[in-house]
Amino acid sequence: MKTSHVGSFPLEYTMENVRRVALDLREIGLDVPPYPQLRNFVDIYMEPLVKRNLVSAKNGEYHITTWPTNVDFFFEGNIVEAEFFSDYAKTLGFKWLRAPVTGPFTLSSKIYLREGGGLEATGLTDVVFVKSMAKYVNSVLKYMEKLGYNYLFIDEPILGVLVGSRRLLFNWSEKDVEAVLETVFTNIGGLHGIHVCGRISRKLFNLLAESPSLQILNFEFHDSPENIDVIDPEKLSSTNKLLAPGVASSKNPLVEDLNEVKRLLQTLIEKTKGRVDLVSADCGFGGLATKSGSPLEAYEIALKKLNVIKKAVLEIENPP
């Protein structure tokens, strides 16, 4: 089993802090580090669209400006921290790098197509719009692959809302969701994964497990233990999927006891009949905060949590 991290950390956005994270993750022995997201995970991928005047940023919101309906548009420019980290991580001896890219469903849910507010006014309600955004995300993944990232992940927290236990919102169909995923990962090498935080429905689990576009499913289990009951080991086996479990809280600043993490991880290993890899915390640590409000204190706690996760994996794989 390899260890990984979803992406974000509670540090100021500087290249020196990106370097610091890389060194700290090497010290912990994290196997598949992501480039450290020290900026908002939506803003990173929305900025190129703002620069091209496809969307505009107003009071912390994104609104559609002009949108090409008859031509494809692609990622242009660069993500400085992703480029810096890929180069620096290679000098530190990392074999695997994770690219956390915000997915088309979540990006679309942040772009307002009309007035009124709420999800009903966003691009998430328009299948055609989301499919066009999927082409953009595909081009971002190709860029990441060229940089040397070999674990290509999309982060889709909004999918837990879109795909409920009984139905999909906004007249979406399961075939439409799969078509978006297929577009996202077309002609992308490496290993493909998806991260969905929060509580997930059995319908969503089945949909993602049955997607031929994905190999790795990353869900949270520490703060959402009810997700354990959703996992179908036979489905994972028949579709050749791996579960990447979150086994420590990304919100609570209390550092988990090693035995607690080991028990949860062992439960998931037994539940999936061993189909577990890329063990991480539930989500990114960008929102982790302490009473003091110190980003540095929150960051040190995040490192301690990752260290506990690494130790738990080592002790399970190499029992005394």
Question: Model confidence at 212, in pLDDT bands (50, 70, 90)?
Answer: very high
* Token pair for 34: 């992501």
Residues 131 and 183 sit within 8 Å (Cβ to Cβ): yes
* pLDDT confidence of residue 309: 98
Q: How far is the C-alpha of 48 from the C-alpha of 36, rounded, in Å?
A: 19
- pLDDT 10s digits, 100-124: 999 999 999 999 999 887 999 999 9
Average pLDDT over residues 164-192: 97
* pLDDT confidence of residue 63: 95
Question: Model confidence at 293, in pLDDT bands (50, 70, 90)?
Answer: very high
Q: Mean pLDDT, the chain, as a whole number? A: 96
Q: Hey, what amino acid is at 153?
A: F
Question: Model confidence at 141, in pLDDT bands (50, 70, 90)?
Answer: very high
* Token pair for 171: 């007249």
Report helix, strand or coil for 88: helix
Quote the distance between the C-alpha of residue 271 and its chain's center.
Answer: 23
C-beta neighbour count of 246 within 10 angstroms = 27
Measured distance between the N- and C-terminal CA atoms of the chain, rounded to whole angstroms: 17
Q: How far is the C-alpha of 130 from the C-alpha of 123, rounded, in Å?
A: 7
Q: Which segments of 124-211 are extended strands (E)?
A: 151-155, 191-196
Asked whether the predicted pLDDT for residue 218 surpasses 90, the reply is yes
* pLDDT confidence of residue 69: 67
- pLDDT 10s digits, 80-92: 999 999 999 999 9
**Fold category of 15-317 in CATH:** TIM Barrel (3.20.20)
Asked whether the predicted pLDDT for residue 128 surpasses 90, the reply is yes
* pLDDT confidence of residue 117: 79
Q: Hey, what amino acid is at 5?
A: H
* pLDDT confidence of residue 72: 72
Residues in the chain: 320
Q: How far is the C-alpha of 79 from the C-alpha of 41, rounded, in Å?
A: 12
Asked whether the predicted pLDDT for residue 310 surpasses 70, the reply is yes
- pLDDT 10s digits, 243-292: 999 999 999 999 999 999 999 999 999 999 999 999 999 999 999 999 99
Quote the distance between the C-alpha of residue 24 and its chain's center.
Answer: 20
Q: Parse the chain into domains and list their residue ranges.
A: 15-317
Specify the DSSP class assigned to residue 301: H
Strand order of the β-sheet with 98-102 is: 98-102, 151-155, 191-196, 216-220, 242-246
Question: Model confidence at 71, in pLDDT bands (50, 70, 90)?
Answer: low
